[in-house]
Structure 1
Amino acid sequence: MPTPLTIRAAQAADLPALVNIDPIARGALGRRQALNHAIAAHSCWLAEAEEVLGYGILDRSFFQQRFIPLLMVAEAARNHGVASALMLALEAQCADDKLFTSANESNAPMRRLLHKLSYRESGRIDNLDDGDPELVFMKRAALRAG
C-alpha cells in the first residue's frame, strides 16, 4: 500500500530536501536563502510520503495580502495530486477573505491547477520575465470553504 501524503510545516532540518527537489534552489543561493527565511517565518509547508515531494510558501508579500509566491513539486511526483494537496493545505492556513497567487502565462500546468481549484484571474504584470507575463489569481474564502 502506498504511503499516504502528509502536509506539515517545514523545519530547518528539511531545507536540504527542499533544495533537492527544486532545480532553481540547487543553483541559486538567493532561492535557498528565501526558503530558509520562509521556514524560519513558519511560512513554508511541505508534502511528503516517505520523502519530500513538494513544498509551498504562504506569506504576505503581495501588498500585505495572503499570497502563495511559490509552489514546487518534485518532477517525479508531478501529476499525482501533490500540488492540489499543497494548495488546499495552504488555503486552509489562510483566514483572510482573499488569497492570491501567480503564474507565468507560459506555465500551463499551474494555470490548469488554479482553474481546477476555482481561482480567478485577477491581473497581469508585464516585464518581470521578458515576453512571459505574470498572471495574478485570487480565490475568496467562500470558494475555499466549499
Structure 2
Amino acid sequence: MKLKNVIKPKLEDIENIVAVDREVTSNNSRRGYIRKAVEEDRCIVVKNDNRIVGFLIFDTNFFNCSFISLIIVSPTARRKGYATSLIDYFVKIASTQKVFSSTNLSNKDMQKVFIANGFVQSGVVENLDEGDPEIIYFKSK
C-alpha cells in the first residue's frame, strides 16, 4: 500500500487535530491530551488535500515498549487506508522493536484494523470499561 501523507504536526495544527477528534467524540475533552502529545512529539497526522483527516498518539511507557494510545480517523475519511498509513509510519519510526495497542472488545472495526495490519492479540484487560474488556494487540518490527 502506498503511504499516504503522514507527518508530525506543528503546534498550529492542534485545533485541526481537535476538530477531527470532536467529529468522533462530539466534545473537546481530549484537547489538553492532544496538545501535550504534539508538544512532546508523540503525535503524527495523516492529511488528504492538505487537510488533517486522522491522527495517532503514542508513547513508550508500556513496559518500555512503544504503545499506540489513540488512533482517530474522521468518519468521512474511514475505509480509505488512513489508519493503515498512520500505523505503518509509526511502526517504522517506533523506538522499540515491539509495538502494542489496544481497543475495546466492542470495537470490532478497530480490531479488524489491527488484524489487517499484522497485529496479533496479546491479552485482555478487564475492569477498565465496565462490561467491555480491553484487548491488547502486538506487532514486532
Contact 1:104 1:132 in 2 (8 A): yes
Tell which deviates more after alignment, 90-99 or 66-75.
90-99
Alignment match, 1:61 = 61
Contact 1:25 1:32 in 2 (8 A): no
Alignment match, 1:16 = 15
Which runs of structure 2 are paired with 1:45-60 in the superposition (5 Å)?
45-50=44-49, 51-60=51-60
Alignment match, 2:124 = 124
Q: Take 2:98 and 2:41, find their aligned partners in 1: how far apart are those partners?
A: 20
How far apart are 1:118 and its partner, in Å?
1.3
- Normalising by the residue count of structure 1, what TM-score does the alignment of the two structures yield? 0.88
How far apart are 1:25 and its partner, in Å?
7.5
Q: Take 2:110 and 2:46, find their aligned partners in 1: how far apart are those partners?
A: 17
Unaligned stretches of 5+ residues in structure 1: 142-146
Q: Take 1:54 and 1:18, find their aligned partners in 2: how far apart are those partners?
A: 7
Which runs of structure 2 are paired with 1:68-107 in the superposition (5 Å)?
68-107=68-107
The runs of at least 4 aligned residues of structure 1 exceeding 2 Å deviation read 23-27
How far apart are 1:65 and its partner, in Å?
1.5
Query: Counterpart of 1:27 in structure 2: which amino acid?
Result: N
Alignment match, 1:110 = 110
The CA deviation string for residues 83-114 of structure 1, in whole angstroms up to 9 with x for no partner, is 11111011111142211000111111110011
How far apart are 1:120 and its partner, in Å?
1.0
Contact 1:20 1:26 in 2 (8 A): no
How far apart are 1:49 and its partner, in Å?
1.4
Contact 1:67 1:101 in 2 (8 A): yes
Unaligned stretches of 5+ residues in structure 2: none
- Normalising by the residue count of structure 2, what TM-score does the alignment of the two structures yield? 0.91
Would you say how many aligned residue pairs link Structure 1 and Structure 2?
Answer: 136
Query: Counterpart of 1:129 in structure 2: which amino acid?
Result: D
Identical counterparts, % of pairs: 28
Q: Take 1:25 and 1:89, find their aligned partners in 2: how far apart are those partners?
A: 27
